[in-house]
Structure 1
């Protein structure tokens, strides 16, 4: 399915579920999300992490509403706690088999967002490994001078900001040297298709979700 449509579908479903309580719909979304992840051959370790990690938040919400609330409401407690898994698993489905580059290209081509936005997202994500290395180098240089820069040290973040500003300037110069001109039409190297099948799946899942929301509690 097209990455942009997957993102929009997950956003709409999550928004509707947050506005209307329907435990049955929550369970159905969770089941279908798990089936989709399994069909895409997700690793068992990743699937277990998606199930175990949100459990703390889900259990906290359930315990607060069921045991520690003045007016205990089991249905509402189950509804809100299962929403945690709905949000987690739908996001996992959106990111499944979708690269950051492909998603940025889809936003530019299919949703017609400005190219500077797509390239800015890619630049920000690709600079993260360089920033991690820069932080390690800053801490190592400080330790050689007898200074220990902790994780929350203002000096560490000030130096990291200077490195980021320098990297941003180098990136801008590099893009201009490769012919990038802001607000100018650019050729497409890799086309992200948006087919009728994508639209059918999009509207089909959206309609089924809304039917479930208004028919089941």
Structure 2
């Protein structure tokens, strides 16, 4: 499915299930998402790790809605608890089958978002590993001078911000050197098609969601 339609479908599923109380629908969506992740060969360890952290959030929600609630409604508590897994798994299905580059290109070409937004998003994602390496270098440089820059040290983050500002300036100069002009019409090296099959899958997913949400108790 087209990356932009994947985003819209995941967003609609999350919003619709946020307002509709349907435990069965939540369970169906969770099962379909898990099957999709297995089809995409996501490592079981990664799935279990993701579900572990989701369970921490889900337990907090269940405790607030049932264990520490004056009106104990188990069905409602289970419904809003399983929503945590729905949000987690739908997001995982989106990220496991779509790269950041594909997403940015699709948002620019199919949803007609500004090009500086798409390229800025890609730049931010690609600079994260460099920033992590820069933080390590700053800490090592501090240790060589006998200064221990801990994780919560303001000095560490101040130096990291300076590195980020310098990297942003270099990135802007590099994009201009390669001919990037904000607002100018650009051709697409890699086109992300939006086909009839994509629309068919999108509306099929919406139809299945609404049938389950409104016909199941």
* TM-score greater than 0.5 by the shorter chain: yes
Residues of 2 paired with 1:178 and 1:88: CA distance? Answer: 38
5+ residue gaps in structure 1?
Answer: none
Give the structure 1 partner of residue 155 of structure 2.
155
Give the structure 1 partner of residue 80 of structure 2.
80
* 1:69 CA displacement: 1.4
Give the structure 1 partner of residue 11 of structure 2.
11
* 1:40 CA displacement: 1.7
Q: How does 1:175-214 map to 2 (within 5 A)?
A: 175-214=175-214
Report the secondary structure of 2:146's partner residue: coil
Q: How does 1:89-128 map to 2 (within 5 A)?
A: 89-128=89-128
1:38 aligns with 2:38: yes
* 1:97 CA displacement: 2.1
TM-score (norm 1): 0.96
* Post-superposition CA distance 1:153-199 (Å, at most 9, x none): 11111111111111111111111111111111111111111111110
Q: What's the RMSD between the two structures over aligned residues? A: 1.2
* 1:62 CA displacement: 1.9
* 1:52 CA displacement: 2.5
Residues of 1 paired with 2:58 and 2:189: CA distance? Answer: 43
> Which 4+ runs in 1 deviate beyond 4 A?
none
TM-score (norm 2): 0.96
Residues of 2 paired with 1:116 and 1:97: CA distance? Answer: 24
Residues of 2 paired with 1:65 and 1:174: CA distance? Answer: 52
